[in-house]
Amino acid sequence: MKAKRDEVRIGFYVCHCGHNIAAMVDCAAVARYIATLPGVVLSRDYKYMCSDPGQELIQQDIREYGLNRVVVASCSPLLHEHTFRGAVTAGGLNPYFFHMVNIREHDSWVHTDRVLATEKAKDLARAAVERVVHHKPLEIKKVPIHPDVLVVGGGIAGIHAALTLANAGKKVFLVEREPSIGGHMAKFDKTFPTLDCAACILTPKMSEVGSHPNITLWTWSEVVKVDGYVGNYTVQIKRKARYVIEDLCTGCQDCIAHCVYKEPKFDDLFNERLGKRKPVYIPFPQATPQVVLIDPEVCLNFKRNKNPDGTPVVSDKCKKTCVEACGEKRAIDFTQKDQVVEIKVGTILVCTGFKTFDARRVPAYGYGVYPNVYTALEVERLVNASGPTGGQVVLRQGTNPDGSPKNPRSIGIIHCVGSRDKKTNLWCSRVCCMYSMKLAHLLKEHTGAEIYNFYIDIRTPGKGYEEFYNKLLEEGTHFIRGRVGEVTDWAMTPEEEGKLVIRVEDTLAGVVRRIPVDMVVLATGLEPQADADAVRRLFNMSCGGDGWFLERHPKLAPVNTFTDGVFLAGCCQGPKDIPDTVAQAGAAAAEALALIDKGYVEQEPNTAHILDAECSGCKSCIPLCPYTAILFDETRQKAYINEALCKGCGTCVGSCPSGSIVQNLFEDAEIFSEIAGVLADEPVAAGRPGNLTQAAIP
């Protein structure tokens, strides 16, 4: 150990990061102090270490001063470790002769006392200097990448990403849980701010997905299990029974026409329950794939009770006019079961989207109590020409003087429902201002009604968005700045009779108003999917405190996750509009492509290995490894680690009773010297403080 210490030549650099570090840490003092430590031949402070001149400085110093260890105290290693390892390599050293100290995120940014923050920086830097002595040269491992990609979720994000990848010649599996791809966008009538028809821009992409030779589209399917690691994932997908053989169905829909139910009778979920469908159905006319499915919950050919495994029981009680109508195609199969298929892919794109806020959670707005209170998504269907009313805006309750269903003459649109509220969701859902204005425009166009927008703040940060707001103002739509207090049906004045009354403070005028309307539209916010937490676990991702999937870094790695090879796109990462979603999907696809075309991934060589001579063969490590990377050689009675399977968690190392397992980059000697380093008042002498600790270990 002592001899080694004499051989090391450490270069130490402390970064000012402009004022980010220098304002709270006396960088020069840190550099002066570190210079006094044994083994340190050079100690510098510099304004921006990550800049080109900063990196060149390291390279020059390595050559000029013969450095064989480098320590940089700057930001988080999660941000720039890679950068500095590159600089060290360029200087001619093995990149693992480097260690990084975090004195920005963990020090200057979180403390308020310059003296104490500087002391902390010295402690952390000293620990790194102690640690780096023990570093060894390591080889970067290269793992080949399977070129196929899994895209989870067939909304606009998944569709765009899948097409980008497929057009680049990659094989893509697109898995969607609903019977058709299209997601929320397929339900929209128009898109803001250009007002182009959502179907017109989406359906060509949907059919391209359906017919693309490189895309395997599995709808009505869910990912149930993910194993493996970047480049080599094994994924199990449950293909739920449709009771229709996909390959045989031509989408002629004769079965629907001939169903024993003459009229549609069951809630049409695609139309937000505003319309009805039959037990055999296709979710919407442009659905992709054009394949029908049967709902066993309501189909007469199934019993209402289930098998013990949850699968429906065929009753055979129905006349099966659908089968008759299908005729020679024989696509209907009541005995179909859920199937699990397994695929191998190298990368995964998670594009699982969002759900809309449940308006019932804000009881003051009367959704579910007053029939003429609608959610925005319901109104999207109501104004849609292919919607349940053929684009007629008619209310659930009330009639016109001629007895026809009532058309609203006045409409209140309440923004921020469920958003910006500590009791529900604190975040701004980003799209509600714009879609509310879009709906205001469409509703005015369809009905000529007076439209009131009730908003807290109008947020139009997008290309052409403020111009759209301006257009709405020109159209005479009323904008009232105030969060609505309540929607009620009791009248105080004659003109309020029979209306929904919105009570609100017009905060700009400074008066409380009561505004009677025929229809209330709730601009519900966006929320993580109900099962986001389960999905996150499936792909080993993280969620933010608000439940959205967490990107690796909001600015530098916005589509990466903490799991290599798993990427994010669309609203599953946070609320965003269609342009941003498509841009992000393209970015995620590009990240995946970059990985695939490189052909391999470099892996941190932080794997573990067993020192043969010291292994006692107790086997206690074997069940600890979650990757079954530890094997046992019966003839030699020794354990050994398959380094290809090892992920480098170090759990086995932490529990080996004989201390015979070594984790690269996290060797015991490295960690003990780091402990000693942060605590030492004096430069550390090599070795442990005493044998109490050893004696104490049972």
Partner 1 sequence: MKYAYFPGCSLKGTGRAYEESLLPVLRHLGVEVQEIEDWNCCGATAYMAVDEGKACAAAARNLALAERTGLQQMLAPCSACYLVLNKAQHYLNEYPAMRRVVTRALDSLGLQCRGDTAVRHPLDVLLNDVGLDAIRQKVTRPLTGLRVAPYYGCQIVRPYATFDDQANPTTMDRLLEALGATVVHWPLKTKCCGGSLTGTLPEAGLRLSYILLKEALKRGADVIATVCPLCQFNLDAYHAKIAARWEPVRIPTVYFSQLMGLAFGLAADQTVLHRSMVPLRFQPAPVART
Partner 2 sequence: MEIKRTIKYEADRVPGFGREVMSVPGCEALEHCIQCGTCSGVCPLSIYMDYTPRQVMELVRSDFKNEVLRSHTIWLCASCYACTVECPRQIRITDIMYELKQRAIKEGVYPPRFPIPVLAEEFTKMVRNHGRISETRLVTRMYLRTHPLAALGMAGLGLNLMKTGRFSLTQDRIERHGEMEKLMAAVDRENGKADA
Partner 3 sequence: MSQAPAPAAAPAANPRDWSPRIVAFFCNWCTYTAADLAGVSRLKYAPNVRVIRLMCSGRVDPQFILDALARGADAVLVGGCHPGDCHYVEGNYKMLRRHQLLQRMLTDLGIEPERVRLEWISAAEGEKVKRVINEMTEQIKALGPLGLPRKFAEWDREVIALAREVHARDAAAGPCPAHAAAPQPGETVHA
Residues binding partner 2 (CB under 8 A): 364, 420-423, 456-457, 481-486, 503-507, 510-512
Residue 650 binds which of partner 2, partner 3, partner 1, none (CB < 5-8 A, kind-dependent): partner 3
Looking at residue 685, what DSSP letter applies? P
C-beta neighbour count of 333 within 10 angstroms: 15
450 or 496: CB nearest partner 1: 496
Which amino acid is residue 417, in one-letter code?
V
Of the pair 510, 626, the CB lying nearest partner 2 is at 510
DSSP 299-364: -TTEEEEE-TTSPEEE---S--HHHHHHGGG--B-TT---EEEEEEESEEEE---EEE--GGGSGG
Which pair of structure tokens corresponds to residue 174?
A: 């697109």
Among 368, 544, 598, 600, binds partner 3 (CB under 8 A): 544
Q: Does 628 contact partner 3 by CB under 8 A?
A: no
> Which class for 493: exposed (0-12), middle (13-18), buried (19 or more C-beta within 10 A)?
exposed
Nearest to 280 by CA among 433, 265, 271, 289: 265
Q: Which of residues 27-66 bind partner 3 (CB under 8 A)?
A: 33
* 77 contacts partner 3 (rule: CB under 8 A): yes
The C-alpha atoms of residue 9 and residue 206 are separated, in whole angstroms, by 61
- Cβ 227 to partner 3, closest distance in Å? 11
The answer to whether 565 touches 229, Cβ cutoff 8 Å, is yes
626 lies in the binding site for partner 3 (CB under 8 A): yes
CB of 502 to partner 2, least distance (A): 9
Q: How many residues bind partner 3 (CB under 8 A)?
A: 69
Of 48 and 627, CB closest to partner 3: 627
CB atoms within 10 A of CB 643: 15
Complex with partner 3: residue 38 or 648, whichever CB lies closer: 648
The least CB distance from residue 224 to partner 3, in Å, is 17
Strand order in the sheet with 478-481: 373-375, 519-524, 410-417, 450-455, 478-481
DSSP 8-state class, residue 180: S
Q: Considering only CA atoms, which of 295, 223, 458, 272 is closest in space to residue 379? A: 272
Binding of partner 3 by 689 (CB under 8 A)? yes
Q: Which does 122 bind (CB under 5 to 8 A by kind): partner 3, partner 1, partner 2, none?
A: partner 3
- Which 546-565 positions form the footprint of partner 3 (CB under 8 A)? 546, 550, 562-563
Cβ nearer to partner 2, comparing 480 with 601: 480
Q: Which two tokens stand for residue 283?
A: 């979710």
By a kind-dependent CB cut-off of 5 to 8 A, residue 507 interacts, out of partner 2, partner 1, partner 3, none, with: partner 2
Q: From residue 356, how far is each of 363, 419, 511, 545, 608 by CA, in Å?
A: 16, 11, 32, 18, 46
Long-range contacts of 401-408 (CB under 8 A, 24+ apart): 406/518, 407/447, 407/449, 408/372, 408/443, 408/447, 408/449, 408/517, 408/518, 408/519
Please, which of residues 98-127 interact with partner 3 by CB under 8 A? 102, 104-107, 109-113, 115-117, 119-120, 122-124, 126-127
Length reported for the chain: 698
What is the nearest approach in angstroms of partner 1 to the Cβ of residue 490? 5
Q: What is the DSSP pairing of strand 149-152 with strand 347-350?
A: parallel
Minimum CB separation of residue 616 from partner 3 in Å reads 17
Q: Measured from the CB atom, is 120 or 170 closer to partner 3?
A: 120
Residue 291's Cβ-side half-sphere holds a number of Cα atoms within 13 Å equal to 24
What would the x/- binding string for partner 3 be over residues 659 to 688, using CB under 8 A? ----x--x-x--xx-xxx-xxxxx-----x
For position 138 contacting partner 3 by CB under 8 A, the verdict is: no
Give the residue with the Cβ less far from partner 3, 275 or 648. Answer: 648
Q: Residue 510 binds which entry of partner 3, partner 2, partner 1, none, with Cβ cut-offs from 5 to 8 Å by kind? A: partner 2
- Pairing relationship of beta strands 410-417 and 519-524 according to DSSP bridges: parallel
- Which CB sits closer to partner 1, 264 or 485? 485
649 binds, among partner 2, partner 3, partner 1, none (CB under 5 to 8 A by kind): partner 3
Among 194, 211, 540, 642, binds partner 3 (CB under 8 A): 540
Asked whether the beta carbons of 92 and 83 are under 8 A apart, the reply is no
Residue 422: name its binding partner from partner 3, partner 2, partner 1, none (Cβ under 5 to 8 Å by kind).
Answer: partner 2
Q: Is 422 in the site for partner 3 (CB under 8 A)?
A: no
Residue 578's identity, in one-letter code, is: I
For residues 175 and 517, which CB has a smaller minimum distance to partner 2 in the complex? Answer: 517
Residues forming contacts to partner 3 in the complex (CB under 8 A) are 33, 76-78, 102, 104-107, 109-113, 115-117, 119-120, 122-124, 126-127, 537, 540, 542-546, 550, 562-563, 606, 624, 626, 647-651, 653-655, 663, 666, 668, 671-672, 674-676, 678-682, 688-698
